[in-house]
Structure 1
Amino acid sequence: MQVSVEARQHAQALLDFIDQSPSPWHAVDTAANQLKAHGFKNLRENEPWQFKAGGKYFVVRDGGSIIAFVLGQRPLVESGLRIVGAHTDSPGLRLKPQAAYATEGLAQLGVEVYGGPILATFTDRDLSLAGRVVLHSEEGVQTRLVRLDQSIARLPNLAIHMNREVNEKGLVLNKQTGLPLIFGHAANTAEAKQQLTATLAGKLAVPTEAITGWDLAFYDTQRGSFWGMAQEFIANSQLDNLASCHAALEAITQVEKPQSTLICALFDHEEVGSESATGAGGSFLIDVINRLCLSSGLSQEDKLRSFANSFFISADMAHAFHPNHAGSYEPCHHVQINQGPVIKTNANQRYSTNAVTAARFMQLCALAKVPHQQYAHRTDLGCGSTIGPIMAAQLGIATVDVGNPMWAMHSLRESAGVLDHSYMIATLIQHYAS
Structure 2
Amino acid sequence: MIQRLLHFLDASPVNFLAVRNIAHELEAHGFRRIDAASPLGHVSAGDRFFVTKNDSSIYAFRIGRKPLADQGFHMICAHSDSPTFRIKPNAEMTGEGGIVRLNTEVYGGPILSTWMDRPLTIAGRVITRGADALSPVTHLIHIRRPLMQISNLAIHFNRQVNDGVKLNRQKDMLPILGFVNDELERGNMLINLIVEELNRTATVTRDDIIDFDLYLADTTPACTFGAHNELISSGRLDDLSMCYAGLEALTAAHDSDTTQVLAIFDNEETGSQTKQGAGSPFLSYLLQRIALAQSGTAEAYYQAVERAFMISADNAHAFHPNYAEKYDPTNHPMLGGGPVIKFNAAQKYASDAVTAAVFAELCRKAGVPCQRFVNHSEVAGGSTLGNILASSIPLRGVDMGNAILAMHSCRETGSVADHEYCVKVFTTFYNE
- Root-mean-square deviation (CA, aligned residues, Å) is 1.4
- Return the match for 1:94 from 86, 93, 113: 86
Matching residue of 2:8: 17
- State how far apart, in whole Å, the 2-side matches of 1:253 and 1:193 are: 46
Question: 5 Å matches for 1:314-329?
Answer: 314-329=312-327
SS in 2 for 1:74: coil
Q: C-alpha distance in 1, partners of 2:315/2:183? A: 41
Cα distance, 1:393 vs structure 2: 2.1
Q: Deviations over 1:44-96 (max 9, x none)?
A: 11111233321100001110000000000112112111000000000011111
- Is 1:390 the counterpart of 2:388? The answer is yes
Shift of 1:354: 0.4
C-alpha contact (below 8 Å) 1:100/1:189 kept by paired residues: no
Unaligned runs of 5+ in 2: none
Q: TM-score, normalised by structure 1?
A: 0.95
Asked whether the 8 Å contact 1:238–1:412 carries over to 2, the reply is yes
Shift of 1:130: 0.4
Deviation at 1:190, TM superposition (A): 7.6
- 2:155 is the alignment partner of 1:149: no
Given that 2:66 and 2:257 are in contact with CA atoms closer than 8 Å, whether structure 1 keeps it comes out as: yes
Contact 2:319/2:334 (8 A) holds in 1: yes
> 1:262: which partner in 2?
260
CA contact (8 A) 2:310 2:397 kept: yes
Map of 2:190 onto structure 1: 196
The amino acid that maps onto 1:142 is V
The CA deviation at 1:299 is: 2.8
Distance in 2 (alpha carbons) for counterparts of 1:122 and 1:431: 37
Aligned to 1:52, which of 40, 44, 49? 44
* Contact 1:14–1:246 (8 Å) recurs in 2: yes
CA displacement at 1:303 relative to structure 2: 2.0
What is the match of residue 4 of structure 1? Answer: none
Distance 1:377 1:369 in 2: 27
Residue deviations 1:371-408, cap 9 Å, x none?
00000011222210101011122211101000000011
CA contact (8 A) 1:102 1:189 kept: no
Tell whether 2:163 aligns with 1:168: yes
User: How many Å apart are 1:119 and its aligned residue?
Assistant: 0.5
Matches for 1:411-426 after TM superposition, within 5 Å = 411-426=409-424
Quick one: distance in 1 between partners of 2:64 and 2:173?
50
Alpha carbons of structure 1 residues 190 and 424: separation in structure 2 relative to 1, 3 Å: same
Show the counterpart of 2:234: 236
- Residue matched to 1:6: none
The answer to whether structure 1 residue 30 and structure 2 residue 28 are counterparts is: no
Question: Of 193, 207, 210, which aligns to 1:209?
Answer: 207
Moved more, 22-31 or 288-297: 288-297
- 8 Å CA contact 1:90, 1:240 repeated in 2: yes
Residue 140 of structure 2 aligns to a residue in which SS?
strand
Q: Is the 8 A contact 1:101 1:189 kept in 2?
A: no
The alignment-based identity, stated in percent, is 39
Q: Is the 8 A contact 2:279 2:391 kept in 1?
A: no
Equivalences for residues 94-173 of structure 1 within 5 A: 94-104=86-96, 105-137=98-130, 141-169=136-164, 171-173=165-167
Aligned to 1:301: 299
Q: Is the contact made by 2:106 and 2:169 (CA closer than 8 Å) also made in structure 1? A: yes
**1:193 alignment partner, SS class:** coil
Offset at residue 288 of structure 1 (A): 1.0
CA distance, structure 1, for counterparts of residue 70 and residue 131 of structure 2? 51
For residues 350 and 65 of structure 1, the distance between their equivalents in structure 2, rounded to whole angstroms, comes to 23
Equivalent-residue separation in structure 2 for 1:143 and 1:39 (angstroms): 25
* Residues 274, 189 of structure 1: alpha-carbon distance in 2 compared, 3 angstrom cutoff: farther
The DSSP-based 3-state class of the residue aligned with 1:396 is coil
1:208-237 Cα distance to aligned partner (Å, 9 max, x none): 111111001110111111100011001111
The residue type equivalent to 1:106 in the other structure is: I
Contact 2:288 2:298 in 1 (8 A): no
1:183 aligns with 2:177: yes
User: Equivalent residue for 1:402?
Assistant: 400
Distance 1:418 1:108, change over 3 A: same
Whichever residue aligns with residue 368 of structure 1, its letter is A
- Any conservation in 2 of the 1:108–1:192 contact (CA below 8 Å)? no
CA contact (8 A) 1:406 1:416 kept: yes
User: How much has 1:145 moved relative to structure 2?
Assistant: 0.3
**Which residue identity does 1:186 align to in structure 2?**
V
Q: Distance in 1 between matches of 2:38 and 2:8?
A: 30
Aligned to 1:283: 281
Please show how residues 365-384 of structure 1 align to structure 2 within 5 Å: 365-384=363-382
User: C-alpha displacement at 1:418, in angstroms?
Assistant: 0.3
Q: Which residue of 1 aligns with 2:30?
A: 39
Please state how far the C-alpha of 1:301 moved relative to its aligned partner: 3.0
TM-score (norm 2): 0.96
The code of the aligned residue for 1:159 comes to A
Q: Separation in 1 of the partners of 2:354 and 2:390?
A: 14
> How many aligned positions are there?
424
Give the match's secondary structure for 1:314: strand
Q: Aligned-pair distance for 1:290?
A: 1.1
Counterpart in 1 of 2:70?
78
Q: Any conservation in 1 of the 2:281–2:392 contact (CA below 8 Å)?
A: no
Give the 3 Å change call, closer, same or farther, for CA 189–340 of structure 1 in structure 2.
farther
Shift of 1:167: 1.1
For the structure 1 residues 78 and 120, does the alpha-carbon distance in structure 2 shift closer, same or farther, using more than 3 Å as the test?
same
Partner amino acid, structure 1, of 2:58: I
Distance of 1:334 and 1:284 partners within structure 2: 35
Q: Is the contact made by 1:107 and 1:189 (CA closer than 8 Å) also made in structure 2?
A: no
Contact 2:50–2:58, Cα closer than 8 Å, also in 1: yes
Q: How has the CA–CA distance of structure 1 residues 354 and 189 changed in structure 2, closer, same or farther, with 3 Å as cutoff?
A: farther
In 1: Cα distance, 2:80 partner to 2:183 partner: 34
